[in-house]
Amino acid sequence: MIFIDVRASRSYQVHIGQGILPGLGQSARELCPKAERFVLVTDDSIAPLWGAETLDNLKDSGLTGTMYVLPHGEASKTAEQLIRLLEHMTSCRLTRSDLVVALGGGMTGDLAGFAAAVYMRGIAYIQVPTTLLAAVDSSVGGKTAVDLSAGKNLMGAFWQPSGVLCDTEVLNTLPDEIFTDGCAEVIKYAVLFDGGLFSLLEREGKAFPREQVIAQCVSFKRDVVGEDERDSGGRRGLLNLGHTLAHAIETCSDFSVSHGRAVAIGTAVICRAAAKNGLCAPEVPERVCALLEKFGLPTKTDIPLDRLMEPMLSDKKHAGSRISLVVPEKLGLCSMQSMDDQALYHFMEAGM
Ligand code: MG
């Protein structure tokens, strides 16, 4: 088992290892000693696999609570679903000392975390990521949100969890498609921070050592969250590599392109564009695209750039009339480039 300390406005630990889920109730009591009630939030793909066991486990520890099941998929990350969940929490008479447990992937964690952030002006929550993507990215760092029709995560809050409990045995039961999706974020970390991790992924492919690589990714995230918790122009912004285009692809495809696949395309486009603009060597997009393909991830989209511009321009990475793009210099080292809308179009065009 690996423990990683995250220092932020609320400090907490991320636990990564096998067989963590059976100890969830006990951990919840230790992390939130005042809690008497909980709502376990999950989705209808996870509930049949882990729902009953997790609910019983929490109850066996002496807590009282219910399971709340969302329809799976990004389409559920809406203000309507948020209100329904909040109404459910009031009907369960959750108080300010009680607890939300998010069991699921990015959608569940973002929505349940946001519900915890706003319910009675903020109550505790614990993240139990069940996907690789949630484990390495969305469950850590306290970004919570729902989507609006103009784009992803436009309504949200920074609200740190009380703990993140990542059971690698749960991740092993993922369908290959969901696992592959998370690999896009793992590859993103390698491009951003660690040429050694990149080579390891080239060597091992999808057989990479789970605990070690997840812990490595969480450590990178911990470092940037510690320096720039609220993503206000500092190093946390680096995690947006490929994400401006990715969010636009997700929005334009009505979420038929998953987040991980959209991030893969976004990362590939940025790397190609950076090489064409002389910011990195041609070797960077060549190796990045080869690695993405080795993992079964896409590197191109059919959606024309003209359609993608609108959602890209409403992306949160905008400050005034300029947008910040994360651009590779070499494998394991990236920097931020600020550009206006027109420059963004020309830059992206070179990478499509
Ligand atoms: Mg992401």
Complete DSSP assignment for 212-272: HHHHHHHHHHHHHHHH-TT-SSSGGGGGGTTHHHHHHHHHHTTT-S-HHHHHHHHHHHHHH
Specify the residue for token string 């494998």. Answer: 331
pLDDT at 308: 96
pLDDT at 149: 87
Q: Residue 139 Cα, ligand 1 centroid: separation in angstroms?
A: 11
pLDDT at 4: 98
Nearest C-alpha neighbor of 245 from the set 185, 313, 297: 313
Residue 123 CB partners (closer than 8 Å, separation 6+): 94, 95, 96, 97, 98, 99, 100, 116
Q: Residue 240 Cα, ligand 1 centroid: separation in angstroms?
A: 7
Computed from CA positions of residues 274, 259, 54, 58, in that sequence, does the dihedral angle turn out positive or negative? positive
pTM, 2 dp: 0.95
pLDDT at 316: 65
Work out the pLDDT band at 150, boundaries 50, 70, 90.
Answer: confident
More confident residue, 317 or 124: 124
Token pair recorded at residue 2: 């690996």
Residue 52 has pLDDT above 90, yes or no: yes
Residue 155 has pLDDT above 90, yes or no: yes
Q: Residue 259 Cα, ligand 1 centroid: separation in angstroms?
A: 7
pLDDT at 233: 84
Nearest C-alpha neighbor of 213 from the set 224, 199, 225: 199
- Could you give the percent of the chain with pLDDT greater than 70? 99
Q: Residue 346 Cα, ligand 1 centroid: separation in angstroms?
A: 24
Q: Residue 183 Cα, ligand 1 centroid: separation in angstroms?
A: 11
Residue 91 has pLDDT above 90, yes or no: yes
Q: Residue 61 Cα, ligand 1 centroid: separation in angstroms?
A: 34
Q: What is the rounded distance in angstroms from the CA atom of residue 245 to the CA atom of residue 267? A: 8
Bridging pattern class, strands 318-319 and 322-330 = antiparallel
Q: Residue 320 Cα, ligand 1 centroid: separation in angstroms?
A: 23
Q: Residue 63 Cα, ligand 1 centroid: separation in angstroms?
A: 33
pLDDT at 322: 87
Q: What is the rounded distance in angstroms from the CA atom of residue 129 to the CA atom of residue 132? A: 8
Q: How many CB atoms lie within 10 A of CB 283?
A: 11
Strand partners of residue 165: 15
For the segment 21-42, the average pLDDT, to the nearest whole number, is: 97
Q: Residue 22 Cα, ligand 1 centroid: separation in angstroms?
A: 28
Measure the CA dihedral 198/189/179/247, to 10°: -130
Q: What is the rounded distance in angstroms from the CA atom of residue 92 to the CA atom of residue 85? A: 11
For 298-322, write each residue's pLDDT tens digit.
999 999 999 999 989 887 667 777 8
Polymer length in residues for the chain? 352
